[in-house]
Structure 1
Amino acid sequence: MPNTEYLKIPRERVGVLIGKNGITKDEIENLTKTDINIDSETGSISVSPTEATEDPLAVWKSRYIVKAIGRGFNPEISLKLLSDETLLEIINLPDYVGKSKKAIMRQKARIIGKEGRTKDIIIDMTGVDISIYGKTVAIIGGMEQIHIAKEAVEMILNGVRHKTVYAFLERKSRDMKIQEFHRIAKDETDIT
């Protein structure tokens, strides 16, 4: 079928995608007007348009919602990808630290931080959602926010001290607030 997208998610995430009595799968299908076929044994999924599909990006959006669930996000956060301004970025840890399970675990621990502190700071300072699952770090948010959060994660992966990463995030957070203030001020003057 034309415009059908194929992907695979971890088998242990298939149940989350389907939801109790199929409620999550049905909700994604209804909101995107797509048809999602799931092979529970392999985690293979196909996403196709339906007769009712109007949005040319519907299949793409549905695929990314499914992919986000596969990367550890809960369905509510994954549904943020329905917005045209919200994106999904996936950082593949072996690309940075190699295939060593020990190195991957160590870097995941550094990104999470003691009692989740580092991950929480990245989320608070950028406004993104982060899932650290398997060998990936997945980020959902706006383009600018994702860029900053990804840069912070990459700094950690490259061995930069947490204190330096926090200072970087504070500076970027301040810059984003100033830009937002100027945008609002400009919008208000445009109205008058």
Structure 2
Amino acid sequence: MPNTEYLKIPRERVGVLIGPHGKTKETIEKASETSIVVDSEGGSIAISPHEDAEDPLAVWKARYIVKAIGRGFNPEIAIKLMDDEVMLEIINLPDYVGKSKKAILRQKGRIIGKDGKTRDIITEMTGTYVSIYGKTVAIIGEMEHLQVAKEAVEMILDGARHKTVYSFLERKKQEMKLREIKMGPPI
């Protein structure tokens, strides 16, 4: 079928995508005007547009929602990707630290922080959602906020001290707040 997108998600995330009695999958299909076919055994997904879908990006949006669920986000957060302003960024940890399981584990621990403190600070300061799952760090948010959160994660991956990252986030939060005041509320 033309315009059909195919992707794979981890098998252990298939149940989250489908949801109780298929409700989550149904909600995504309704919101995105698509049909989603799930192969529960292999984690393969096929997403096709409804014939009467009005949004030309419907399949693309549904793909990112499914991808976000596959990267550890709960469906309520992933569905925010239906908004044109909200995007998904996935950082592949082996690209930064190599394939060593020990190095990946250490960096995941640094990004999460003690009792989740670092992830919570990144989330609060940028207004984004952060999921650390498998060998990836995924971020959902509006473009400018997402870029700041990504930069903070990359700083940690590059070995920056947490204090330095927190100062960076504080500065960026102030800059974004000032810009919003100058520009006024969105129309």
Pairwise TM-score range, normalised by the shorter structure: over 0.9
1:14 alignment partner in structure 2? 14
Structure 1 counterpart of 2:150, one-letter code: K
- Gaps of at least 5 residues in structure 2 are none
Give the total of aligned pairs: 187
Distance apart, 1:50 and its partner CA = 1.1
Mapping of 1:1-192 within 5 angstroms?
1-184=1-184
Structure 2 counterpart of 1:64, one-letter code: Y
- Please give the alpha-carbon distance, in whole angstroms, between the structure 1 residues aligned to 2:28 and 2:167: 39
Structure 2 counterpart of 1:29, one-letter code: E
Distance apart, 1:52 and its partner CA = 2.4
RMSD of the alignment, in Å? 1.1
Deviating more after overlay: 49-58 vs 89-98: 49-58
Structure 2 counterpart of 1:90, one-letter code: I
- Please give the alpha-carbon distance, in whole angstroms, between the structure 1 residues aligned to 2:81 and 2:112: 23
Q: Rg bigger for which structure?
A: 1
Taking structure 2 as the reference length, the TM-score comes to 0.98
Structure 1 counterpart of 2:17, one-letter code: L
- Gaps of at least 5 residues in structure 1 are none
Aligned residues: percent identity?
Answer: 71
- Please give the alpha-carbon distance, in whole angstroms, between the structure 2 residues aligned to 1:143 and 1:31: 22
Distance apart, 1:113 and its partner CA = 0.4
Structure 2 counterpart of 1:112, one-letter code: I
Provide the secondary structure at the position in 2 that maps to 1:104.
Answer: helix
Structure 1 counterpart of 2:40, one-letter code: S
- Please give the alpha-carbon distance, in whole angstroms, between the structure 2 residues aligned to 1:52 and 1:71: 30
- Please give the alpha-carbon distance, in whole angstroms, between the structure 1 residues aligned to 2:49 and 2:184: 38
Distance apart, 1:54 and its partner CA = 1.1
- Please give the alpha-carbon distance, in whole angstroms, between the structure 2 residues aligned to 1:52 and 1:21: 26
- Please give the alpha-carbon distance, in whole angstroms, between the structure 1 residues aligned to 2:33 and 2:150: 31
Residue deviations 1:87-130 (CA, integer Å, cap 9, x gap): 00000000000011110000000000011110000001000000
- Please give the alpha-carbon distance, in whole angstroms, between the structure 2 residues aligned to 1:139 and 1:91: 8
- Please give the alpha-carbon distance, in whole angstroms, between the structure 1 residues aligned to 2:65 and 2:52: 19
Taking structure 1 as the reference length, the TM-score comes to 0.96
- Please give the alpha-carbon distance, in whole angstroms, between the structure 1 residues aligned to 2:102 and 2:38: 33
